[in-house]
Chains A and B, each alone.
Chain A
């Protein structure tokens, strides 16, 4: 491991200046992804700026919604009574991720910025455009079971691994950012990028920009919301596919739906076409499946040495139908 310096500055402004000044500096949150990558040689920064004690560890009421400090551990966010009753989809998404120990360490700011679990990205002996731009993509034509079917490019087919991010995308969360040029707010659905021809950039954040908090807007319909995750083991495994959904039903007809998919794209995938297809539809498995089909018209499954990932189309469709069916029952 390349030697690096460690700093724990006194405030967020100093932390942002420290990172902005040095191209090889990075922020350190809970370290559950970054420390692993230091050890694997995936990244080799010269300076780590610890922000866990700088950003807020509080969850506060803001205009009918909640403001979650970037330092709030994933475990405490999932355990918060307000989150559990007002945004159950978020509590469930957090609880379905990683393990008790990891959730105690992982932070609200670090979680959405965790890198892909693409096995080639993590193996420095293989070409990877995300790790080493221009070197090629080992996943295309390789093992694609864990890879994307939506929004891919010829340069990268990786998925974003976070469960929390899928719920945040469905809830229309807002990301509060402090950078060298001041503050800005980014809609959560615009934080992550599609790979295009620059897969090395996961998000729209510029170097030195620090996530200070995430706002959850007031959303009464989210009281009836769910996260459903399908994976190879019952626990302690990343999603093959996942669905975050909230449903507002009136007299057997869908008034409004909020839907996001995980495990199928380079970003948490807000399913706006599916939402549109559901508006005014009668509650039935057929209309739920039609909503999945509307979202998946542009899906491009990958062949692969492991049999490929075409199974994700059927799996995601069934997972969406099951999730919406459960939510509709809750309403009845």
Chain B
């Protein structure tokens, strides 16, 4: 009865028969063995489950998998190309932007999404003049990354990593 769902995850196509109740997060982890998105809260409050859907950052815990039919899902794993780390991956390592690492895959996907939003000229809640193009300073980075909590408090390194990655990708 349930419609067949096609999910493209990190470049691989999967045809799945899904219970409509299944979240994208549980489907990735339990059905497909894609373990980089983490379950921190399952209620949209922590960002550990952040993935990119068609390039936009979203929360996999509040997404129903059946509603993602035909969409392109990228996790922190899938950001690597030909085995090479993504600039955001490298920046997280260089800036020591983690302790336990639990929040890290979500932080990485969120950073990739946030930098893309910034490149499109999107303002944030701390942009003084919303009508003008924003500058990516530390306060802007903190605000744009506020949907990702880190229980280890690695925020200083995370903000530095996002700033580094921004310099590298906008070079």
Q: Which residues of A contact B (CB under 8 A)?
A: 1, 3-6, 8, 28, 31-32, 35-36, 38-40, 48, 50, 52, 75, 78-79, 81, 84-85, 88, 91-92, 95-96, 98-102, 104-105, 234-236
Query: Given A78-B123, A101-B59 in contact, is the A5-B20 Cβ separation under 8 Å?
Result: yes
Q: Does B87 contact A (CB under 8 A)?
A: no
Q: Does B171 contact A (CB under 8 A)?
A: no
- The minimal Cβ–Cβ distance linking A97 to chain B, given in whole angstroms, is 9
B133-159 CB mask vs A (1 if < 8 Å, else 0) is 000000000111111100000000000
A-contacting 9-mer, from B8-16, B75-83, B97-105, B113-121: B113-121
Could you tell me if B63 and A35 are in contact, using CB atoms closer than 8 angstroms? Answer: yes
Return 22 A-B CB contacts under 8 Å, by A number. A31-B62, A35-B63, A39-B42, A39-B43, A40-B43, A48-B20, A48-B64, A79-B123, A84-B131, A88-B130, A92-B130, A95-B125, A98-B147, A100-B110, A101-B50, A101-B110, A104-B58, A104-B113, A105-B58, A105-B59, A235-B143, A236-B147
Could you tell me if A105 and B62 are in contact, using CB atoms closer than 8 angstroms? Answer: yes
Q: Does B7 contact A (CB under 8 A)?
A: no
Among all A-B residue pairs, the 3 with the closest Cβ atoms: A99-B147, A235-B146, A6-B20
Could you tell me if A6 and B66 are in contact, using CB atoms closer than 8 angstroms? Answer: yes
Q: Does B86 contact A (CB under 8 A)?
A: no
Which of chain B's residues 56-72 have a Cβ closer than 8 Å to chain A? Answer: 56-59, 62-64, 66-67, 69
- Chain B hits for A99, CB < 8 A: 47, 146-148
Could you tell me if A35 and B62 are in contact, using CB atoms closer than 8 angstroms? Answer: yes
Cross-chain contact of B120 among A38, A79, A84 (Cβ < 8 A)? A79
Q: Does B36 contact A (CB under 8 A)?
A: no
Task: Tell me the bound Cα distance from A98 to B56 in angstroms.
Answer: 16
Could you tell me if A100 and B59 are in contact, using CB atoms closer than 8 angstroms? Answer: no
Could you tell me if A8 and B67 are in contact, using CB atoms closer than 8 angstroms? Answer: yes
Could you tell me if B43 and A36 are in contact, using CB atoms closer than 8 angstroms? Answer: yes
- Chain B hits for A234, CB < 8 A: 143, 146
Task: Tell me the bound Cα distance from A78 to B125 in angstroms.
Answer: 10
- Chain B hits for A39, CB < 8 A: 42-43
Q: Which residues of B contact A (CB under 8 A)?
A: 1-3, 19-21, 23, 42-44, 47, 50, 56-59, 62-64, 66-67, 69, 110, 113-114, 117, 120-125, 127, 130-131, 142-148
Cross-chain contact of A36 among B47, B62, B69, B122 (Cβ < 8 A)? B62
Could you tell me if B130 and A235 are in contact, using CB atoms closer than 8 angstroms? Answer: no
Task: Tell me the bound Cα distance from A5 to B2 in angstroms.
Answer: 8
- The minimal Cβ–Cβ distance linking B38 to chain A, given in whole angstroms, is 14
- Chain B hits for A8, CB < 8 A: 67, 69
Nearest B residue (CB) for A82: B131
- Chain A hits for B56, CB < 8 A: 75, 104
Query: Given A28-B67, A35-B62, A101-B50 in contact, is the A235-B125 Cβ separation under 8 Å?
Result: yes
Could you tell me if A31 and B63 are in contact, using CB atoms closer than 8 angstroms? Answer: yes
User: Quick one: which of B47, B117, B130 has the most chain A CB within 10 A?
Assistant: B130
Cross-chain contact of A1 among B21, B59, B113, B120 (Cβ < 8 A)? B21
Could you tell me if A105 and B63 are in contact, using CB atoms closer than 8 angstroms? Answer: yes
Task: Tell me the bound Cα distance from A8 to B73 in angstroms.
Answer: 20
Could you tell me if A6 and B64 are in contact, using CB atoms closer than 8 angstroms? Answer: yes
- The minimal Cβ–Cβ distance linking A28 to chain B, given in whole angstroms, is 7
Query: Given contacts A48-B64, A101-B59, could you give 5 more A-B pairs where the C-beta distance is less than 8 Å?
Result: A36-B62, A39-B42, A48-B20, A79-B122, A84-B130
Nearest B residue (CB) for A95: B125
Could you tell me if B147 and A102 are in contact, using CB atoms closer than 8 angstroms? Answer: yes
- Chain A hits for B121, CB < 8 A: 79
- Chain B hits for A5, CB < 8 A: 1-2, 20
